[in-house]
């Protein structure tokens, strides 16, 4: 790509400068903010009272939110909410039509070189860690909480309702995948399109992970009590 092509491709940065300057100096130490490591494109900011932590040397544009990567989705930027902690360990790019929500008890950690093309949805209220060199296709979702707990019919037990998510390094998460609480993926794996994961994946590195189309129904005496379903998440 020539110099002119690069300038044209990155022209969005000019419009992103003012909101990015405000965001960086509001949420980062001065020495980091001065380098503008976070660039926001069409960002809709909710409550961002939480912490933004860099565990790596910072540079201009190290983290990009809302980049218009995929033409199949509207150029709507990103919705960002952080009432907990977001940790950066290197380069991160999150594409257009994405949304990230981190609750007060949540810790969302990105490794070095994590790229999400478009329409990524993350709800982190406990712990989600994406390690190094991870590629995420469009329309993927990661949620570490059920938002409601379930009560057993003996009235003495409840489901925990939340659990950590961890994706190993050098993993490709193909489009339309969903990772729910307690999902752990070994390193050097490929998660096939439309895969839904509800817990630890017991496989060796360099595996292709998919889910078959099947229906499993179990009767274990469990139900949802809408009047008694609040989850109390314990801080790490």
Domain count, the chain: 1
**Alpha-carbon distance 129 to 106, whole Å?**
11
Is residue 13 in a domain?
yes
Is it the case that residue 215 has pLDDT exceeding 50?
no
Q: Over the stretch 95-140, which tens digit does the pLDDT of each residue have? A: 999 999 999 999 999 999 999 999 999 999 999 999 999 999 999 9
Domain that holds residue 95: 3-147+160-212
Q: Which position has the higher pLDDT, 185 or 235?
A: 185
Res 149: pLDDT: 87
Q: How confident is the model at residue 157 (pLDDT cuts 50, 70, 90)?
A: confident
Please compute the mean of the pLDDT values over residues 177-184 and round it to a whole number: 96
Is residue 9 in a domain?
yes
Is residue 132 in a domain?
yes
Res 184: pLDDT: 96
Please compute the mean of the pLDDT values over residues 153-164 and round it to a whole number: 88
Share of the chain above pLDDT 70, in %: 89
Q: How confident is the model at residue 9 (pLDDT cuts 50, 70, 90)?
A: low
Is residue 231 in a domain?
no
* DSSP state letters, 81-120: EESSEEEE-S-EEEESSEEEEE-TT-EEEE-SSEEE-S--
Res 219: pLDDT: 47
Res 106: pLDDT: 98
**Alpha-carbon distance 180 to 186, whole Å?**
15
CA dist 60 → 16, 63, 166, 171, 219 (Å):
13, 8, 28, 26, 54
Is residue 66 in a domain?
yes
Is residue 128 in a domain?
yes
Is residue 188 in a domain?
yes
Is it the case that residue 222 has pLDDT exceeding 70?
no
The CATH code of the domain that includes 85 is: 2.160.10
Is residue 59 in a domain?
yes
């Amino acid at each position: 790509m020539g110099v002119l092509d690069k300038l044209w491709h990155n022209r969005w940065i000019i419009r992103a400068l003012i909101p990015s300057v405000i965001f960086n100096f509001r949420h980062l130490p001065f020495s980091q903010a001065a380098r503008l490591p976070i660039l926001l494109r069409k960002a809709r900011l909710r409550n961002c009272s939480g912490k933004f932590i860099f565990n790596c040397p910072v540079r201009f544009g190290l983290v990009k939110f809302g980049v218009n990567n995929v033409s199949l989705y509207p150029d709507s930027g990103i919705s960002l909410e952080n009432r907990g902690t977001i940790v950066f360990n290197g380069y991160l790019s999150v594409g257009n039509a994405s949304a990230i929500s981190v609750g007060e008890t949540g810790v969302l950690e990105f490794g070095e070189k994590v790229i999400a093309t478009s329409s990524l949805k993350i709800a982190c209220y406990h712990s989600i860690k994406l390690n190094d060199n991870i590629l995420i296709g469009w329309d993927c979702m990661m949620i570490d909480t059920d938002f409601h707990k379930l009560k057993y019919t003996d009235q003495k037990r409840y489901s925990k309702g939340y659990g950590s998510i961890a994706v190993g390094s050098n993993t490709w998460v193909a489009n339309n995948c969903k990772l729910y609480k307690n999902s752990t993926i070994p390193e050097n794996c490929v998660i096939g399109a439309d895969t839904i994961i509800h817990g630890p994946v017991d496989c060796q590195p360099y595996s292709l992970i998919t889910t078959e189309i099947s229906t499993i129904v179990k009767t274990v005496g469990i139900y949802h009590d809408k009047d008694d379903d609040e989850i109390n998440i314990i801080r790490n």
